[in-house]
Amino acid sequence: MFAVESYAAVRRFVFVEGNSQREAAKVFGLSRETIAKMCRFSLPPGYTRSKPVAKPKLGLLLPVIDRILAEDYVAPVKQRHTAKRIFERLRDEHGYGGGYTVVKDYVRQSRVRSRETFVPLAHPPGHAQVDFGEAVGVIGGVRQKVHFFCMDLPQSDACFVKAYPAETTEAFLDGHVCAFAFFGGVPLSILYDNTRIAVAKICGDGKRERTQAFTGLVSHHLFADRFGRPGKGNDKGKVEGLVKYARSHFMVPTCYGFQDVVVKGFVDRVVILCGGEEIARHPRCYGEAMFVANPLHYLALIETKPGALDQAAALQDWTLPEDFQHLRHLLEVRMGNKGKREFIQVLRLLEAMPMEVVTFAVKEAIHIGAIGFDAVKQIALARIERRPARLDLEAYPHLPRMEVKTTRATDYASLLPGIAA
């Protein structure tokens, strides 16, 4: 690859001094194709493969690697495969005769694609998070494990910690009482993990059967209880970390999480590129610790984590027409948690359609009583294509079809006495 100085010299020779590309090729000792490329680009454009690298030996074994990585996702950390171990299994169990590097590169790329991206949350005042932690301490000269109750107020970062000899129901209840006394009041809501002290059973559709002791605690103090997803400590990341940080954020669509990107800062805007493609553009923000995000970039991720819909920081200042909230209310009343997911799907229509089109579709769906994502999408498409909404099932091949044969007049003769069918 040629240096920027070479590009500048060639471009000046051609565009400023008025020489031809043929003459430049002779003077600089370069091919005419290279000179033409330097004239097209002011900086070296870099190299991009036109198609993925072929894997003739590994290709048939890619599903095997994917299966191993999928099993690792739910396995204990210490039992997960390294790239080297996967290579050894392919060699020993499947007769793989290729090299280690191509296996390592594929494993690395697969793990990047499967890594979980997270939704930054906004925390209104008056809400708390609770968790238990463990530490090793010295009590009475004896080194032993202690369990400590933690309550965190995410909005102010105020926290309360108290240690106990064991994580028991008594310690859980006492921790709440002491924390409420310390803060001088009871939070509006508290977010928990799915500890057995509070949750007797996790039912379908995200509902939980509370323990009697925890139900009594809630009934006495009258706070709202909320629960994170099983095994997902990041749902209550504030109390997990109890760490406050402030920094400037410029966000990209979540599908580009963990990818190498190029960030170009201009006076009035910030442009983010991945693989030469522009994936995000934000107005330049000169404030300290400001959060700049496009709500549409987060909808795909929030669809997989619908519980973050009301707390996602990127959505806090997103002003939508009132019809959207009306539709959400109707969806959640009729469908419960599934209604929230359908509402997020409606919001995702804004990724490809103008706001006025989706707003019209939402309003029309409410007017005709067709409350659902499919109805809103169908009305929006009809609006864009300037046609009436289709009422047939061609776009829904997965739905069962009913075929009714045409009846002939002679078929009724079988109903008359003495006449066979």
Distance CA 22, CA 36 (A): 9
**Highest mean pLDDT: which range of 29-33, 122-126, 155-159, 225-229:** 29-33
Question: Region 274-296: what's the mean pLDDT?
Answer: 73
DSSP H helices in 32-151: 32-40, 62-74, 83-94, 100-114
Q: Give φ, ψ of 205 to 5 degrees.
A: 60, 30
Instruction: Provide the percentage of residues in the chain whose pLDDT is more than 90.
Output: 26
pLDDT of 243 reads 27
pLDDT of 419 reads 60
**Kind plus residue range of the DSSP H or E element containing 29:** none
**Alpha-carbon dihedral sign for residues 167, 169, 172, 174:** negative
For the entire predicted model, the pTM comes to 0.42
Question: What is the band of 250 on the pLDDT scale with cuts at 50, 70, 90?
Answer: very low
Distance CA 311, CA 124 (A): 9
pLDDT of 29 reads 92
CB atoms within 10 A of CB 182: 14
Question: What is the band of 397 on the pLDDT scale with cuts at 50, 70, 90?
Answer: low
Summarised one tens digit per residue, pLDDT across range 183-240 is 999 999 999 988 889 888 887 776 888 999 999 999 999 999 988 766 554 445 454 4
pLDDT of 54 reads 76
Phi-psi region of 140 (alpha: psi -120 to 50; beta: other; left: phi over 0): left
Contacts of 355 (CB under 8 A, 6+ apart): none
Cβ atoms of residues 252 and 297 within 8 Å = yes
